[in-house]
Chains A and B, each alone.
Chain A
């Protein structure tokens, strides 16, 4: 049967976020399997076609194992090689989703994501670096990627923003 593959820390081939039309919101490819943009986009289209209706959190496609999750109008994908530990891939996916959810204050949908795109990019950067899992615990990620709202001086925020912030704070303190 198969001889054992060379052990490697490079376990993540790609991380991708698509919208509900299958268009790329964010995509990072760590492997040379899809060198050109066109190949990446073709793959994403194929992947989207097979997953946006299907039940299930895992699929094999073109020699990759892909775990995925969706919410409202976003689809999150983490891809590894065919022989990768699927449970490890899933833990990375959960970290990705939970961290982004933290950043977007539980409002995981496209508009919110675009409005906090910088934080989302930092999250992905803290989870995976060049294909190696850097961190898989979402509370650690939250700590490292804190977009501190109080950085904005009060004068620059609109009244609406201040009220919104106050509302959020009250909501979270009630939930504790």
Chain B
């Protein structure tokens, strides 16, 4: 039976894979809806048309209120047919159109008839369609039927009624709350889905009363037939624990704990997940939950492995010692074919590893990094970052790992994350400074990201002079002045000036380099070089501090005045520089710098 065969062919002709029928198509389909008015009703054809309408809406075509209402009204004729399939499709369409078409309540009586009728397969779906079109005012009139349906023997009817009650409670909570007795009765059923739905509605009705919810859990926990209901009840129990501020002596906790030994994997996992998230839990109490998760780690089903490793990852944040027992299983997961699982395993190991395992872990991760996407790489790098805080003595191994990563392929965000981590190590750990800075120097030799290069150069200027042999950094920085583009060159100039400002023995060489830079092609580079050169030539510590080592502190108002003056006397100054008087040249240089700063401020202000 070809439902959409011919439809698809037409669609393929006129669109290029977007899947959305053109306006012409929509009109055509809606036109076909007029067939519904024909008698006798041809069920097959009508089902075909209804399917096309639903497909169209599903693909994103929007119907105007008028179009929807017209189609809807035509559809109501189809209630005359006794065809099972057709009736079910009509219900689907009613639900889909309920929010777009107007006056949809005209089908209320037809649906109510179906809901209480003899045809069992209609009853559940009819209820669900009915509740989609019922608003607050109409609800009273069907209340009687709803209460009957909730306790109906047929599970599909009871579930439909319970589910619909939940949806209805969004706009009519007080009405639904009146049905609590029926819902309570439904909760005692043997049917696993009905119990689940009844429990959901019961919780909704009682949730503002902690005592009532407590009672709910106590009553139901020994009568749970449904794993879905069981999972839900575990969540309710946790909520009660939280609100009552209860702990391990609470029966709520006992219920969750014993659920660890349930036969359904879904329930076991829910219990383990709940326990690891409890705030008051001790490592000893965690143990049974962790051992369950450990078992899941070696399951052949990827979903179980994923769930387990994700939860262990969380445990590792608060109780790393508790997870250590799983380290072997986690290491096996590093080579898991599902990359999400592998990444989670690695980040967990990074949180729980001890100092001895760091080297081995770094080796394992290095091989793994090439196969994962940037997104995951960043996750791993941030885990390494926290490792640096924990094991400062391991900075050598960590730095070598990070610098290897810097050399590999990767996007900007990834490289930035690595650079930030290296900088963290350098800043926190004096012993690591030398190595860290060297690694960064190597990196900027071949770095395509300007912002990273300038950041590193800035850092070099600040930290380099403090190292034992600052001279070795100068060559790296000098190369930047020669090889890179203007933004990086200017950063390099500033960085070098800082070396000159702190070290008397390096000063002569720095001055020579700065002199060369004064002939640079770029304005900014030249201006900075000139400025620093002249300040350094004064050989005064105070000047160095004020203008080179610390940031420039200028008052905005003073800046504005200076700039204004500069524009006024520009002509005069031009004549003077031709004269070559050095003191005036100095004034000129200082004003240039002021101008540069103010230009920057002006651009930043937009």
Quick check: is B467 within 8 A (CB to CB) of the other chain? no
Say how far A63's CB is from chain B's closest CB, in angstroms. 13
In the complex with contacts A4-B235, A114-B4, A144-B156, A57-B338 CB distance below 8 A = yes
A110–B197 Cα distance when bound, in Å, is 34
Known: A132-B166, A134-B163. A87 touches B303 (CB 8 A): yes
Contacts A1-B314, A56-B339, A118-B51; A85 near B266 (Cβ below 8 A): yes
| CB closest chain-A residue, reference B270 | A85
Contact A4-B55, Cβ < 8 Å, known A57-B338, A134-B193: no
Please, which residues of chain A bring their CB within 8 A of the CB of B303? 57-58, 67, 86-87, 89-90
A residues 147-169 touching B (CB-CB < 8 Å): 147-148, 151-152, 156
B240, closest chain A residue (CB): A4
Contact with A along B353-380 (1 / 0, CB 8 A): 0000000000000000000000000000
Complex CA gap A24/B57 in Å reads 12
Q: Is the CB of B85 within 8 A of A151?
A: yes
Majority SS at the chain B contact face:
helix
Q: How many residues does chain A have at the interface if contact means C-beta atoms less than 8 Å apart?
A: 56
Contacts of A148 in B (CB 8 A): 84-85
CB distance from B248 to the nearest CB of A (A): 16
Report yes or no: B4 in contact with A58, Cβ–Cβ below 8 A: no
Find out whether the CB atom of A114 lies under 8 angstroms from the CB atom of B3.
yes
Cβ–Cβ contact A87 & B266, under 8 A: yes
Interface status of B2 (Cβ within 8 A of chain A): yes
Given A2-B277, A136-B228, A91 contacting B266 (CB threshold 8 A) = yes
Q: CB distance A3 to B3 under 8 Å?
A: no
CB of A35 within 8 Å of the partner chain: no
Specify which chain A residues have a CB less than 8 angstroms from the CB of B462 in the assembled complex: none
| B231 CB–A CB distance under 8 Å | yes
Q: With A115-B4, A133-B228 as given contacts, are A121 and B54 in contact (CB-CB < 8 Å)? A: yes
Are B3 and A115 closer than 8 Å at their CB atoms? Answer: yes
A86 touches B121 (CB 8 A): no
A42 in the interface (beta carbon within 8 A):
no
Give the residues in chain B near A86, CB-CB below 8 Å. Answer: 269, 303, 306-307, 310
On chain B, the residues within 8 Å of A28 by CB distance are: 58
Q: Answer yes or no: B318 CB below 8 A from chain A CBs.
A: yes
Does A116 have its Cβ within 8 Å of any Cβ on chain B?
yes
Would A55 and B338 be within 8 Å (CB), given that A115-B2, A132-B166 are in contact? yes
Chain B, residue nearest A54 (CB): B339
B residues in contact with A1, CB < 8 Å: 277, 279, 314, 317-318
B373: nearest chain-A partner, CB-CB = A50
Say if the beta carbon of B485 comes within 8 Å of chain A.
Answer: no
Check if B427 is an interface residue, CB within 8 A of chain A: no
Residues of chain B within 8 A (CB-CB) of A7 are 203, 232, 235-236, 239
Instruction: Name the contact of A117 in the complex, choosing from B3, B95, B238, B337 (C-beta under 8 A).
Output: B3
**Docked pose: A151 CA to B89 CA in angstroms:** 15
Tell me which of B47, B200, B274 contacts A132 (CB under 8 A). B200
Q: For window 160-186 of chain B, which residues contact chain A by CB distance below 8 Å?
A: 160, 163, 166-167
| Cα–Cα, bound, A117→B197 (Å) | 28
- A31 contacts across to B, CB distance below 8 A: none
The residue on A at minimum CB distance from B51 is A118
B22 interface hit (Cβ, 8 Å): no
Residues of B within 8 A of A90 (CB): 301, 303
Say how far B51's CB is from chain A's closest CB, in angstroms.
Answer: 5
B245 interface residue (CB < 8 Å to A): no
- B236 in contact with A54 (CB, 8 Å): no
Q: Which residues does B use to contact A, with CB under 8 Å?
A: 1-5, 8, 17, 19, 43-44, 47, 50-51, 54-55, 58-60, 83-85, 88-89, 92, 95, 121, 124-125, 128, 156, 159-160, 163, 166-167, 193, 196-197, 200, 203, 207, 228, 231-232, 235-236, 238-239, 242, 265-266, 269-270, 273-274, 277, 279, 301-304, 306-307, 310, 314, 317-318, 337-341
Question: Which positions in A face B, CB cutoff 8 Å?
Answer: 1-9, 21, 23-24, 26-28, 37, 41, 54-60, 67, 85-91, 111, 114-118, 121-122, 125, 129-130, 132-137, 144-145, 147-148, 151-152, 156
| A-B CB contact pairs (8 Å), 19 listed | A9-B166, A26-B58, A57-B302, A57-B303, A58-B303, A59-B340, A86-B307, A86-B310, A87-B304, A90-B301, A91-B266, A115-B2, A117-B4, A118-B89, A122-B88, A125-B95, A129-B167, A132-B163, A132-B200
**New A-B pairs, 5, CB < 8 Å, besides A9-B163, A86-B306, A87-B303:** A4-B239, A56-B340, A85-B231, A116-B1, A148-B85
